Structure 1
Amino acid sequence: MSDGAAPDVPLSRNRNYTILWTGQLFSEFAAELTLIAFPLLILSMAGSPLQMGLASSVLAVAMTAAVAPAGVLADRWDRKKIMLICQALRALAISSLAAALYLDSYTFGHLLAVAVVEGVLGSVFQPAEHAALPTVVPESQLSNAVARNAARPFVAMLLGPVAAGYLFALNPISPFLANAVILTISLATMLFLRLPRGGAGAEPAGEPRPQAGFGGQFAEGVRWMLGHRVIRTTMAWAVVANMVFSALLIIILTMSNEDEVGPGEIGLMMASFGLGGIAGAMAAGWLHDVLKPSVVVLGFSWILPAAVALMAVVPTGLPLGAVLGVAAFFAPVANTVVMTYQITATPDELRGRLSGLAALASGAAAAFGPMIGAFLLAGLGDGRKAVLVCAAGLLVVALASTASPVLRRFPAAKPSEAEPVSA
């Protein structure tokens, strides 16, 4: 069983898991709406490309800056309350922007303030949801739950941009109203969430726990992560792979533009990436059960450079999209193996901090990856050569993974493997 008293019923009938899954899906879908609606609004208000870039940067910086403190918060306060407050304040912030548009009182400063609120609270919501998962799902079903969770970002990436563009074409206020409604529905749904008492996210009455300050608790989480060999290794493995793949996406989009691939076909090419990820998430739970963890981790490490090398020779557009989809298929499978181990090996009182640290590492990879891609394009002057450099980088990751005793003998998820906090 899980840490809490979750009944051993199918996930589809697990009420609390369904609420958690839906709440995070709404959160990610709302974030995707915002990501597209902000630049569309700035352009419609005769804003400059500088304003567009500034708004995107403010949103990204707010998200990245908040994830580590958010992990500490998820370990020291009631996780349900955190999620409810986040959704309520996000809905209020985005509603204020819709009201400003309706009243014809829009200002760019107002949009930036909403971007900060959206970035910070979206990041605060995520570790609380991640840390709550093992308390509502039986241990025997945790890998399937993680696999289903892996599908959510791909669903949001597929639907969010399309919905934002369509709604904005109807009326510039529409995507912001829709965002507020989605977050309000999420808030209303999560009122019915039941988390077991006594975990890190909910303090038992009459038994207040002595707590260090935010800085001390964050340092405690970092020490624990660095002291756990498997988690430390998988974190580094994921960061490097994500950074190279983020660089690759910029290179592919540039190549497609240079080859005069139409916007519609580029959209379908990137949709293939999302569809591949959804398909992989659907198969991830089953593959986790039938394959050894080390086979999944090392297999993905070698499939990725092979797929990227193939991208250097296939035509841009739909053929390249098909290869992207194949690569995306295996990502949720590997993530399910790694995340299931991390969740079960981490004590409940540290799960929020681990989630925050993982999100911080992922955000850093996503921030530096595009810059690396741009430097490769500028330095090599040829997109296909840049793709081959990315493939070579991933080949180095595959070789290092194979040489690593930790990844070569990646352990199955066992709660007994949780290690004590380092001093």
Structure 2
Amino acid sequence: MKPAGPDSLRRNRDFQVLCVGQGLSMLGSAASALAMPLLVLSSTGSPLRAGLVEAVWVGSLALASLPGGTVADRFDRRLVLLVCQVAQAMVSLVLAIAVHSGHTPLPLLLGVGAVMGALTAPSIAAGLAALTQIVPESQLNTALTVNRARGQAAYLLGPVLGGWLFTLSPGYPFWLDTASFGAAAASIYAVRTPLSTGAAAAERKSSWVRQAGAGLRFVWTDPVLRRVSLIAAGQNFVMDGTYLAVVVVSSHRGSAGLSTGTIAAASAVGALTGVLLMPRISRAVHPTHILFVSGVSCAGLIAAMALSGTAALLALLMGGCSMAISLCSSLTTVARMLRTPNHLQGRVHSAVGLVLMAAPPLGSTLTGLLLEHVPAPAVFLALGILLIPLALITPRLDTSVPLESVGIVKGD
């Protein structure tokens, strides 16, 4: 990992180049993500098939998570990022041409979803790992804030842009996605910082199965990472269930449009607010206190939903929850970055990411089952109470390093 340096991120050329390129890629992906179900519905008229395409994308991403982390640690990360972005550009180009020609059979759409999901896994792992090589430790928290803010902005603007382009021509969002992947590839090519993994030759020769499990083993044996990962997974579980409960309750109260529009917007604004506040708060408040207070605050906000009488108030409380969880998420991500050796960065991020991906579907499924048999206020109370034990296991974080580094020291 790079040592702390005096220059600000504004003068860090490689970070700025990579940030702009990946931001454009996120914008294009967000636009095409909205256009894909619209395309399936317009060509087949089947909501089931639209859901199937989405499920294939998510499923392939989950299946490729552990192997993707191994790829990000086994090969030069610049090469991994470059290959993934170029391959995604080519797949998106094939889809754009198919849409333009009016020939989009379901097998093609399923294949595109599977390939895109599989390529996204190593790209995410290599991108997070590369950040620790490009940015000094003292600026890592700020860099992560910039990345998260960029992502939130892309996910807010991308669907709007994708919907507008789709009305002009169904193929336009996919042409945009192709161009955005090309821009991301160009930015990666322009990065000058060496992005080698530092893996020993003996490790590179070991089996892929053993390497894939190394990330999980490292997280399990590190007490701080084990706890913060459990906290993050539990919070994802509760938040997805809470979101479903809020939407269902708002819909039952005759606010279906509000439940899908305002609540989603409130969650996004809350998350973005948390991201922007994180650097300032981390300089003034001990990281252990941030994790604990954010978790308890979110528990209280969810419990308060049991007493809420309007959909607008539910949306406001949901925004507050998203802000609190965003603060926790920033801390847990930086914790992983600082405590993980360079040669394990990709596998650790992928291992934790797989766990975090598994938690939301379980949360929404359990919440849906409870809503069938239990009054909504009781469901909100139960979800809020689940966050209390997670807050109580907040690890004690070392204060011997600067608070700008979130007060967490690197592991051996």
What TM-score do you get using the length of structure 1 for normalisation? 0.89
Matched length: 407
Matches within 5 A, 1:116-135: 116-135=114-133
Q: 2:257 aligns with which of 259, 263, 267?
A: 263
Runs of 4+ in 1 over 6 A off after TM superposition: none
Matches within 5 A, 1:347-366: 347-366=341-360
Q: Displacement of 1:229 after TM fit?
A: 0.7
Per-residue Cα deviation, 1:51-70 (whole angstroms, up to 9, x for no partner)? 12211111110111111111
- For the structure 1 residues 210 and 60, does the alpha-carbon distance in structure 2 shift closer, same or farther, using more than 3 Å as the test? closer
8 Å CA contact 2:66–2:213 kept in 1: the answer is: no
8 Å CA contact 2:82–2:185 kept in 1: the answer is: yes
Q: 2:285 aligns with which of 285, 291, 311?
A: 291
Q: 2:312 aligns with which of 308, 313, 318?
A: 318
Q: Distance in 2 between matches of 1:89 and 1:112?
A: 16
Matched, 1:308 2:299: no
Per-residue Cα deviation, 1:183-225 (whole angstroms, up to 9, x for no partner)? 1121122221123265438x9xxx8975312111122222222
**1:74 partner letter:** A
Q: Distance in 2 between matches of 1:229 and 1:7?
A: 29
Q: Distance in 2 between matches of 1:347 and 1:229?
A: 15
Q: Distance in 2 between matches of 1:413 and 1:219?
A: 31
Per-residue Cα deviation, 1:355-413 (whole angstroms, up to 9, x for no partner)? 10111011111222221221121222x33332222112223433xx2xx3xx2522348
8 Å CA contact 2:251–2:259 kept in 1: the answer is: no
Matched, 1:388 2:396: no
Answer with 159-168 or 96-105: which moved more: 159-168
**1:223 partner letter:** R
In the alignment, what sits opposite 1:411?
Answer: 398
In the alignment, what sits opposite 1:55?
Answer: 53
Matched, 1:175 2:169: no
Q: 1:223 aligns with which of 217, 220, 233?
A: 217
Q: Distance in 2 between matches of 1:321 and 1:43?
A: 29
Q: 1:328 aligns with which of 303, 322, 328?
A: 322
Provide the alpha-carbon RMSD of the alignment. 2.3
What TM-score do you get using the length of structure 2 for normalisation? 0.92
SS at match of 1:45: helix
Q: Displacement of 1:24 after TM fit?
A: 3.4
8 Å CA contact 1:345–1:413 kept in 2: the answer is: no
SS at match of 2:307: coil
Per-residue Cα deviation, 1:343-364 (whole angstroms, up to 9, x for no partner)? 1111111111111011101111
8 Å CA contact 2:18–2:184 kept in 1: the answer is: no
8 Å CA contact 2:75–2:197 kept in 1: the answer is: no
Q: Distance in 2 between matches of 1:133 and 1:208?
A: 25
Q: Distance in 1 between matches of 2:232 and 2:176?
A: 34
Q: Distance in 1 between matches of 2:367 and 2:183?
A: 39
SS at match of 1:155: helix
Q: Distance in 2 between matches of 1:316 and 1:88?
A: 48
Q: Distance in 2 between matches of 1:257 and 1:153?
A: 29
**2:231 partner letter:** W
**2:397 partner letter:** F
8 Å CA contact 1:344–1:413 kept in 2: the answer is: no
Per-residue Cα deviation, 1:33-62 (whole angstroms, up to 9, x for no partner)? 333222111111133122122111111101
8 Å CA contact 2:78–2:195 kept in 1: the answer is: no
Q: Distance in 2 between matches of 1:362 and 1:413?
A: 29
Q: Displacement of 1:280 after TM fit?
A: 1.3
